Structure formats: structure tokens, C-alpha cells
Amino acid sequence: NLLHRGPDATLRMILRKPSHERTQEELELVFEELLHIAALSHLSTSIKRELASIIVFEAHAQAGTILFNQGDEGRSWYILLKGSVDVVIHGKGTVATLKEGDDFGKLALINDAPRAATIVLKENNCHLLRVDKEYFNRILRDVEANTLRLQEHGKDVLVLERVAKQRGHSAFKYTVMSGTPSKMLEHLLETRLGGQVGPNDPFLDDFLLTHIVFMPVPQLVDDLANYFHSEGEGSQSPEDREYMITFRKRVVQFVQKWVIAVRHAVFDDPIVCDFIEDLASEVEVDPELSEEAGIIHHVLTQLSRYQEDRNMHAGQKWKLPPNGQPICLFSGNPTSSRTVIRPDDDIIFRVYCADHTYCTLRFPLHTTAEIIKACAADKLQLNRGPDDLQLVEVKSNGERSIFKDTDVSVPTGLSLNGRIFVSTKDHLDALTPLPEQEGPTEGLDIDIEVLSTKELAYHITLFDWDLFWAVHEYELLYHTFGRHHFGKITANLDVFIRRFNEIQYWVVTEIVSTASMGKRVALLRKFIKLAAYCKEYQNLNAFFAVVMGLSNMAISRLQQSWDKLPSKFRKLYQEFEALIDPSRNHRAYRVFVGKLQPPVIPFMPLLLKDMTFAHEGNKTSLDGLVNFEKMHMMAQTMRTIRFCRSRHLVLDPPSPKSEGEVRSYISCLRAIDNQRVLMAMSQKIEPNRK
């Protein structure tokens, strides 16, 4: 047959004829032969019959012949019948040798991308079958095998899979399922950048949002620099020069997209800043890269603006109020708009001993639990070695959770009324919460009744928007994979999540602290109205917090109060409860939020749940390759955040009645977060019926 003997003279003769000259008998002969070719084994007989009329035979006498070059337009797909070929990639050399029965040249066709490698004949007298692009597209494109694997040095480096397109010209496209970090980057540069009209899919954005999980910045920068400097194979032929220019353009465009995708986080690493500056100096002197020089110049402007801003806010001090909830700028005006919390900002907090004595510490947020522990032990004169001691959070309900030595950003990670303790390992059981952890002791003691509900919702939303704005998408990854994994802080996310809990428990606390039935009913109405305004302002985080507060056992059991509520409010509340209903994976909320236009403040705990779900349900690495499907899932959630913030929050302010008061009130809400205490208070105001 074709593979083992090589096609006999007749077959060759047929396969060299143009298709319209092939007789029925001849086509039958070819068809018979195609049945034996492994590269076609996944195709149906009817497809093979179609191929019989268009497949072409090609013989090459000379070893060393270049069949096509990397970067060329892809015109055909090949099957190797006899002989062998080398797959050669710029900057890497020969990455694979293909033998009889192997096929190649599909990648460029399915992706509409340039050739990813040069194919050089390794032996004299090679025989090939060829399917030209127009036929490939017509006959094969839509029935192509689902998975495409690329190997280098005998190991898989990239796995692509065919997926149905939602809409578009051709019915299918290929997306990256897994790969080595470097090969994925190379594939990205060659198919998604440099003015190529590759598939318009989220691959690039996914990669930019998630590479920190599988490809640390130094490695990425290193690969980019190598790619930028790959000079072809030595000779400075015009083609080589052309490749070089294309490669450089791609790297510059990559950097441009990188900054757009993750903003200032790109500039947080000095390695990247150096790289961008080097890039700029090389691009600027190349007359063929004038457009790219403009791009890099713009990036440099953003970089210096960011650095100025960072210097301006350098050494910010944050304060974890001993009793109150929000983490606020120390000595700053608590109502002025916030800035981002950075790893080298300081935070002031207390560390307690078993006997409730404490010391006040001030450390940068990136400080590890180990250092805090040692310093607290020293200040509190515990006279024990660090190995005997432990840093612990004691929650208001007495629960304890131990910090790992490597934990960073310890104070921001505390539960609402949690406190940091240091203790010897064998005395952990003796740690009890401070009396103040039980009750709301800080915060303004204003009667909430006198404040306008709309104004409350308005200022809560502005406040939340500031907190939400400060959260970087990366913090979701740090949170999901574990901050210690990256040595990064998630302080802005922590603060935002704390705020959610704060609002939730504030609602419960206010109601169970109201002894008068009449006032309590009025308060229920007020909170339902507050939820309605938050929903109207598209602050779904606060909306959930308020409604979840109202559905807390300590509140839902207050039957007499609920009975006195006008039915209009009870109905509204039922609607809200349906919206926060977690069944079918929060379907009601997802449908609702899916219809909103930005700006939106999303229900953050659900986004974190989605991240965790993607993380726990999928391995990060599959047979040594990055599971890029997982990265895609996570990037989708990260993009939700981007979408929510893609327009600035502009709200019509309600007519100010007591603006200053409302603003200071909402910046520090009083909340009890011990469920047992809340239930006891609830029992007291409405005892169980006998």
C-alpha cells in the first residue's frame, strides 16, 4: 500500500493528475489506499472518497529542501509517506523529527495563522501527500479530529481542542487546552499578535490574567526577551530581517495588551519595569518599528505616572481599630476617598496575650506571621522561643484559628470582631475572647431612624465602590491559591469582604438591640427599603448583605415584628429573598445580574466561590502541562470584575439631609458578629412562646 511500499507508478500517476481528470476507477484505487493511512483513520469513508479526488502526490529528491518556512502563509496540509522531515523553530532549532505516517501543517490552516515552524526534508527522496487549503477548508476543517497535540523532543508541549464557535464564519475553532508555559506563550505571540488575524478569542486575555499561577514574571520576561532577540538562523537575509521585525512587533504589542489587562500590577515588579525600559531603548532606534516606538512610549508614560502616584502615597499608614470594623487610613479623614492598600504600607494593630494585656505593633502588610509573633513575644515579654509560640486569631465566639508562619497581611484577614493573640502552643485552649469582642463598642451611637434611608444607601454605595475599586483581579487568584503561594497580600479584597460581613451583622445588631416593638418594625421597614435602594444603585454586595442580615435566624424568628410589617414590605422582602436564594448555583442572582449594565458592585462572596470551585474541581497541571481550561474558567470570573467596573459610578445624589452624619455613620458600623449573643438578644426582645 501507499505507506509501506510507496505508491506504485499507477497511483503516482493518478495522484499527479488534476482532480477533474481522475476517472471513477482511479478514484476507487486511491480511496482503497487512503483506507490504510493512519493520519486519516479518524475520517469517515465519505470524506475519504472526497479526498481521493483532490489529494496530490509530491516527491522531493533532495535532503535539506525547505518545504515551507516558519511565518509563511499556510497553503497545504501534508502526510509523510516516505522519508522524514525536521520541524525547526527560530531560536530553538529542531524540535521534532516526523516520520512516515506523520502529518504536519495543520496548525496554520485551522488557526488561519502563519506557519509555526519550518519544515526541512531530512532525507533524499521523500514522498508526501498534500491537501491544499481550499479543499482542507471545504472537506476537512469541520470534521477535523478534536484534539491536536504538538510535541517537542518527544514530549507534548501544546494541546489544542476543537470547540464550537458561538457565531462566526467557520463553524469551529481550536483553543488551547493545555501546554507548557513557554510553548503557550510562543503560540500566543504567533497566532494572536503582530497584526495576525488569528481567532478572536480570549486566549491572550486569559493568559495575561492568569500567568502568575503557572509562569512567574521573571520567566515570562525572560521568554519575551529571548523572543524579541531571536535573530533567525544567523544569516542576515531579508527574510530573516523580516522575521526579526515581526517578532519584535509582537513583543511590543504583548506588553501593550499586558498593561491594558492587568494595569498597574505590571509595574509592581521592578523586573518588568527594567524590561520595558530596555525594550523602549531598542525599539526607538529601529526605523522599522516607529509605530511600536509610539506604543512603548505610551506604556512608559503610564509607568512613570504610576510610579509618581506610588511615591505620593508611599508609606501610607492603616489602622485596624481595636474595636471597630473598617480598616481605615490612620490619621486620615475616614470619609475621604480611599486609595489602594499596598504591601509596603504600614498597618497598626494590637496583639493580645492570654491575660488580655496587649502590645500595639506597626508593620508593613507584607510582614509574615512569624515576624509579628517574634516581635509581639518580645514586647509582651513572653520569654519563650518562637517554636513554642503561636499567633492565633480568637473570634468573638471563642473559635481559634492558627496563623501559619508564612502568612502575610495577617490583620486584614481577621474576622469582623476577631483579635490577634500570641500564646504558647500548650496554652491555646486557655485563650478567651476579650469582653469587648462581644458587643459593639465603637462606631457612632446615632439613632439610625433619623437618617434618610436613601442617603444611607447612597453613601454605603459610594463607600463600597471605593473598596471595590481598590481590589485587583490578581487578589482573587492570591486568595484562591493561597497568598503564601505568591507572597502577596490580599488586603483590599479582605477589606471588601469584611465590609460585607460588617453590613450584614450591623443589620442584625441594630434590630436585636431595639427593644421597642414599634421601633423594631420601623427598623425592619427601613432595612428593606435600604436593600431596595442598594439594588437600585446596583450595589448587589450591600443588597445581599442587608437581605442576608434580615434572614439571619436572630431576625427571622421575630415573628411578632414581621407580622406587624405592612404586607407591601413583606412582599418586597420575599422578592429579595428569592433573589439571594442560593439554589441552582445562585441562578436567580446570576440571571438578574446578567442583565445589568456597569457600573455594578457584584456580590463578591459568590465570585470567590466560583474561583474556589474552579480551583478545587480542576487540577492546575495535567501530565506536566498547564491545565489552561482551568485558567480560562478563572479568567472568566476575573473578567466579571473588570466588566462591573468598566464604567465609573455616577449616581444622582439624594437631597442631602444629614450628609456629614450619614457619611461618618456608615464608615464605621457597629456590629456584633457572635451568633450566640445575637440569638440571646433576640430571645430577650421576643421570648419564645411557651
- For 659, other C-beta atoms within 10 Å of its C-beta total 16
CA distances from 512 to 439, 515, 557, 671, 675 (A): 12, 7, 11, 11, 11
CB of 133 to ligand CMP, least distance (A): 10
Placement of cell 502590645 in the chain: 359
> Which residue, 161 or 284, is less far from ligand CMP as judged by CB?
161
Measured CA to CA, the distance from residue 205 to residue 639 in angstroms comes to 9
Site string for ligand CMP, 116-145 (x = CB under 6 A): xx-x--------------------------
- For 127, other C-beta atoms within 10 Å of its C-beta total 19
Decide if residue 179 touches ligand CMP (CB under 6 A).
no
Decide if residue 107 touches ligand CMP (CB under 6 A).
yes
CB of 73 to ligand CMP, least distance (A): 10
Here the cell at position 184 is 503557550
Among 151, 170, 336, 574, binds ligand CMP (CB under 6 A): 151
> Which residue, 86 or 510, is less far from ligand CMP as judged by CB?
86
Q: Give the residues across from 391 on adjacent strands.
A: 422
Q: Give the residues across from 363 on adjacent strands.
A: 347
> Which residue, 96 or 129, is less far from ligand CMP as judged by CB?
96
* DSSP run (H or E) holding 363: strand 358-364
Among 87, 208, 299, 389, binds ligand CMP (CB under 6 A): 87
Peptide bond between residue 599 and the one before it cis (omega within 30 degrees of 0): yes
Decide if residue 96 touches ligand CMP (CB under 6 A).
yes
Among 115, 192, 419, 525, binds ligand CMP (CB under 6 A): 115
Q: Give the residues across from 104 on adjacent strands.
A: 78
Q: Give the residues across from 393 on adjacent strands.
A: 401, 420
Decide if residue 372 touches ligand CMP (CB under 6 A).
no
- For 405, other C-beta atoms within 10 Å of its C-beta total 16
Decide if residue 250 touches ligand CMP (CB under 6 A).
no
> Which residue, 152 or 494, is less far from ligand CMP as judged by CB?
152
| Contact yes or no for 260/295 (Cβ under 8 A) | no
Site string for ligand CMP, 23-62 (x = CB under 6 A): ----------------------------------------
Here the cell at position 544 is 445581599
> Which residue, 90 or 535, is less far from ligand CMP as judged by CB?
90
Decide if residue 106 touches ligand CMP (CB under 6 A).
yes
> Which residue, 90 or 630, is less far from ligand CMP as judged by CB?
90
| Contact yes or no for 56/130 (Cβ under 8 A) | yes
Cα-to-chain-centroid distance, residue 133: 37
Decide if residue 150 touches ligand CMP (CB under 6 A).
yes
Decide if residue 71 touches ligand CMP (CB under 6 A).
no
Cα-to-chain-centroid distance, residue 361: 34
Q: How many residues bind ligand CMP (CB under 6 A)?
A: 17
Cα distance between the two ends of the chain: 92
Among 80, 108, 555, 579, binds ligand CMP (CB under 6 A): 108
> Which residue, 96 or 244, is less far from ligand CMP as judged by CB?
96
CB under 6 A: which stretch of 115-123, 213-221, 640-648, 663-671 binds ligand CMP?
Answer: 115-123
CB of 625 to ligand CMP, least distance (A): 13
- For 571, other C-beta atoms within 10 Å of its C-beta total 12
CB of 548 to ligand CMP, least distance (A): 52
Backbone angles phi, psi at 328, to 5 degrees: -120, 165
CB of 91 to ligand CMP, least distance (A): 12
H helices, E strands: number in the chain: 26, 20
Binding residues (CB under 6 A) for ligand CMP: these are: 74, 87, 95-96, 104-108, 115-117, 119, 150-152, 157
